[in-house]
Amino acid sequence: MGLQIIRPDTNIDFIGVRKIAFIISILVILAGLGSLILKGGPKYGIDFAGGMIVQVKLDKSTDVKDIKSALKDVELPGMVVQTFGQEGDNEYLIRTSTSEVTSAEVRDQITSALTANLNGTKFVVQRLEMVGPKVGADLRSKALEAMFYAVLFIAIYISGRFEQRWMAAAIMAACLVGGQWVLGFTGLDIAWTIVGMLVISIGLCWYLRLTYALGAVVALVHDVLITVGIFSILGKEFDLTIIAALLTIIGYSLNDTIIVFDRIRENIKGNGKDGFGALINKSINQTLSRTILTSGTTLLVVLSLFVLGGGVIHDFALALLVGIGVGTYSSIFVASPILLGFGPRMPEEEGTEATA
């Protein structure tokens, strides 16, 4: 028997508090969406927005206002100065939206201005990156498509594995490909196109009664929305590393959900007395020890990255911290209750069919 930190006979009523959990999730999602609306959408990093970024390290702590003042004569559009890394690193990011000036010219202008106006403070330019606006738009489009197709293939896999309905899953995939083709003619921004495709995905899962896939997809969308919303509230930027974190979160959350769904499926086969809600609750409790061990050890590693990893991967680790925590929560309080609401017949009906 594997290591267990939760007693096998534990019977916590997770399903009984599902309405409270739904309210909490809805409030957090609405707060995130409100932040996105107020800020005009996500705060894109240089990967997606295009422009140039210069990372500078000073030999002593300097106020951001002093650096801005030192650069006041540098004629670069949309220039923003912000701290970078941990307190005491004395590192700063200088961003500009221009892509028409060469990187060498930007380096020379910034170096000259800081040398002349920082009163002898020594500094070194550690990094200079440049991304054109078209490349940034293409990267943003590809990143959103990658997330959508990850969710689509997951829905197909869940439908086939847990419900043995590969044909229905294939019909759903065909409908989504057609839907994407139709939406492509509307001229909608790629972000709204992906939102539309996700809505269609959830609708098809419900219409085709792909209930396991419905629970998994809604849980994944829930996790991504909360993570994106929290990043918007905190004013964090979205770049390729955050997309990598979101895809990791999708995979990790799916793993937790599959563990619970697998135990539910096993218990349905051997159960003829309990109601479906009690059966789901029993399955969650049976997998609780494994869930806590897996998520807990992963969160410890990610927390170490967050605290000790430095500024370069700080936001990546933060996204994983939020996403893995929310993903574990959603497997219990989102995916499973949705399965209860839209799921298979009661166990006694399954037993009647088996003996028929």
Tens of pLDDT, residues 80-98: 888 887 777 888 888 887 7
Cα gap 48→42, rounded to integer Å:
10
Contacts of 51 (CB under 8 A, 6+ apart): 78, 95, 96, 97, 98, 99, 130, 131, 133, 136
Cα gap 318→28, rounded to integer Å:
17
Share of the chain above pLDDT 90, in %: 23
Q: Does the structural domain 15-44+135-355 have CATH classification 1.10.1060.10?
A: no
Domain ranges of the chain: 15-44+135-355, 51-131
**Residue 183: which of 194, 173, 174, 171 has the closest Cα?**
194
Q: Average the pLDDT over 106-114 and give the result.
A: 87
Q: Which of 103-112, 248-257, 319-328, 342-351 has the highest mean pLDDT?
A: 319-328
Q: Which one has a higher pLDDT value, 346 or 244?
A: 244
Contacts of 353 (CB under 8 A, 6+ apart): none
pLDDT at residue 344 in the model: 58
C-beta separation of 267 from 74 below 8 A: no
Q: Which one has a higher pLDDT value, 1 or 286?
A: 286
Q: Average the pLDDT over 31-58 and give the result.
A: 87
**Is the pTM value of this prediction over 0.85?**
no
Cα gap 235→244, rounded to integer Å:
19
**Residue 95: which of 85, 115, 81, 107 has the closest Cα?**
81
C-beta separation of 355 from 269 below 8 A: no
Helix (H) or strand (E) segment spanning residue 318: helix 314-330
Identify any residues that bridge with 95 across adjacent strands, giving them in sequence order: 53, 80
Residue 352 has pLDDT above 50, yes or no: no
Residue 355 has pLDDT above 90, yes or no: no
Q: Average the pLDDT over 315-328 and give the result.
A: 93
* Model confidence pLDDT, tens digit, residues 220-231: 999 999 999 999
Q: Average the pLDDT over 298-319 and give the result.
A: 87
* Model confidence pLDDT, tens digit, residues 165-185: 888 888 888 888 787 777 777
Number of C-alpha atoms within 13 angstroms, CB side, residue 143? 20
Question: How many angstroms separate the Cα of 80 from the Cα of each of 238, 282, 311?
Answer: 16, 54, 18
C-beta separation of 277 from 177 below 8 A: no
Map residue 58 onto helix, strand or coil: strand
Residue 189 has pLDDT above 50, yes or no: yes
What tokens appear for 283 in the block?
């399955």
pLDDT band at 273 (very low <50, low <70, confident <90, very high): low
| Lowest-confidence region among 52-56, 70-74, 79-83, 267-271 | 267-271
pLDDT at residue 195 in the model: 79
Beta strands of the chain (E only): which ranges?
A: 43-44, 51-58, 80-84, 91-96, 123-131, 237-238
pLDDT band at 133 (very low <50, low <70, confident <90, very high): low
- List, in sequence order, the alpha helices (H) in 39-165: 46-49, 64-70, 103-117, 133-163
pLDDT at residue 272 in the model: 57
Mean per-residue pLDDT over the chain, rounded: 83
The CATH fold assigned to 51-131 is: Alpha-Beta Plaits (3.30.70)
| Lowest-confidence region among 61-75, 228-242, 311-325 | 61-75
Question: How many angstroms separate the Cα of 64 from the Cα of each of 61, 70, 75, 233?
Answer: 9, 10, 18, 22
pLDDT at residue 43 in the model: 85
Compute φ and ψ for 47, nearest 5 degrees.
-55, -40
Q: What crossing angle do the helices spanning 190-207 and 211-234 adopt, rounded to 10°? A: 150
Q: What's at 220, amino acid-wise?
A: L
